[in-house]
């Protein structure tokens, strides 16, 4: 994800890094080629006596804009939900860490490593990447048992639940404290379930496919409707309209699954690092990861 300090509006017009323009450049160039073909074939096109007017494109363009806006709203709501879930994860980790340090300070280090293993494992689970380096770094000899399971994130949470149950059986925790800490663990489970729901249930494929095909058909035929009146200006006008529609379509695809590596996805590497800094600092540890820097660390997410 790209997070930048505020910039002047004029400089933002020329921003390349973080925009969807690199992703649509090839498709946009195809539209420009179609515009050029429409301009070159205009003399022959006019001899046919058939004129493609702007009326159907005006009606279709309004419909496409409405449905693209709706799809982007749905995709952004998924992105917002994912961001809120990870914000809740940070709160739950801080809460559980502070509870452990208040009632079982000798176990704080153990809980810190389990919470960090949980966060990093969830990140890799959502990205379908290899969690081994992070899990081995955090859990050491216990990592192999976790990594051998099909749901390592769930197993890490089970370890925390077992740890909490052992503390209750040993009499270190009262019923009230146990209930509060168990409620915090439940929040971790809710975060996992919410993230898994987003990953496993995308926007219906047929809906996105219909919009995708309509946008490309619209952008491909638009130059032939514009060329009769605009001539050489068809390149500019058609390119600008196509840029708008293709950008919205591409941005919706990125936001639909917000856990990846694209510039507009969640900065999950930075969020995990931030959680690690918070928990280790609460545990009075001095060797902390570097603080994520906007536009340098976030873009690597």
The tens digit of pLDDT for each residue in 272-291 reads 999 999 999 998 888 888 88
Q: Is the pLDDT of residue 136 over 70?
A: yes
Q: What's the confidence (pLDDT) of residue 42?
A: 84
Q: What is the mean pLDDT of residues 11-33?
A: 84
Q: What percent of the chain has pLDDT over 70?
A: 94
DSSP string spanning the chain?
A: --------HHHHTT--TTSSHHHHHHHHHHHHHHHHHHHHTHHHHHHTT----SHHHHHHHHHHHHHHHHHHHHHHHHHHHHHHHHHHHHHHHHHHHHHHHHH-GGGHHHHHHHHHHHHHHHHHHHHT---HHHHHHHHGGGHHHHHTSS-HHHHHHHHHHHHHHHHHHTTSS-HHHHHHHHHHHHHHHHHHHHHHHHHHS-S-HHHHHHHHHHHHHHHHHHHHHHHHHHGGGHHHHHHHHHHHHHHHHHHHHHHHSTTSSSTTS--HHHHHHHHHHHHHHHTT----PPPP-TTTTGGG-
Q: What is the mean pLDDT of residues 213-240?
A: 90
Q: Which residue has the higher pLDDT, 68 or 19?
A: 68
Q: What's the confidence (pLDDT) of residue 90?
A: 95
Q: What is the mean pLDDT of residues 169-190?
A: 93
Helix axes 205-230 and 21-40, enclosed angle (nearest 10): 40
Domain extents in the chain: 20-300
Q: Is the pLDDT of residue 5 over 50?
A: yes
Q: Which residue has the higher pLDDT, 47 or 227?
A: 227
Q: What's the confidence (pLDDT) of residue 241?
A: 93
Q: Which residue has the higher pLDDT, 203 or 5?
A: 203
Range scoring the smallest mean pLDDT among 236-245, 256-265, 287-296: 287-296
Q: Is the pLDDT of residue 33 over 60?
A: yes
pTM metric for this prediction: 0.87
Q: Is the pLDDT of residue 301 over 60?
A: no
Q: What is the mean pLDDT of residues 235-260?
A: 92
pLDDT tens, 58-67?
888 898 999 9
């Amino acid at each position: 994800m790209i997070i930048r300090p505020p910039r002047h509006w004029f400089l933002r017009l020329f921003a390349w890094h973080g925009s969807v323009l690199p992703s649509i450049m090839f498709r946009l160039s195809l539209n420009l080629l179609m515009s050029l073909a429409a301009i070159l074939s205009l003399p022959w096109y006019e001899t046919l006596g058939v004129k493609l007017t702007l009326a159907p494109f005006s009606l279709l363009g309004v419909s496409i804009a409405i449905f693209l806006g709706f799809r982007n709203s749905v995709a952004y709501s998924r992105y917002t939900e994912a961001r809120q879930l990870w914000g809740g994860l940070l709160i739950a980790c801080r809460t559980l860490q502070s509870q452990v340090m208040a009632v079982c300070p000798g176990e704080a280090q153990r809980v810190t490593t389990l919470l960090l293993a949980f966060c990093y494992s969830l990140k890799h689970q959502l990205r379908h990447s290899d969690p081994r380096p992070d899990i081995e770094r955090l859990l050491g000899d216990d990592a192999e048992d976790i990594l051998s399971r099909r749901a390592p994130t769930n197993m890490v949470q089970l370890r925390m639940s077992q740890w909490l149950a052992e503390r209750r059986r040993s009499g270190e925790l009262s019923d009230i404290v146990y209930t509060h800490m168990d409620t915090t663990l439940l929040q971790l489970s809710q975060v996992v379930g919410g993230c898994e729901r987003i990953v496993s249930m995308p926007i219906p494929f047929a809906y996105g496919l219909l919009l995708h095909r309509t946008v490309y058909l619209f952008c491909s035929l638009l130059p032939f409707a514009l060329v009769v009146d605009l001539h050489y200006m068809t390149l500019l006008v058609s390119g600008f309209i196509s840029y708008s529609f293709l950008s919205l379509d591409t941005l919706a695809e990125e936001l639909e699954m917000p856990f990846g590596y694209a510039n507009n996805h969640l900065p999950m590497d930075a969020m995990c690092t931030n959680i690690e800094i918070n928990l280790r600092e609460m545990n009075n540890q001095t060797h902390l990861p570097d603080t994520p820097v906007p536009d340098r660390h976030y873009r690597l997410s």
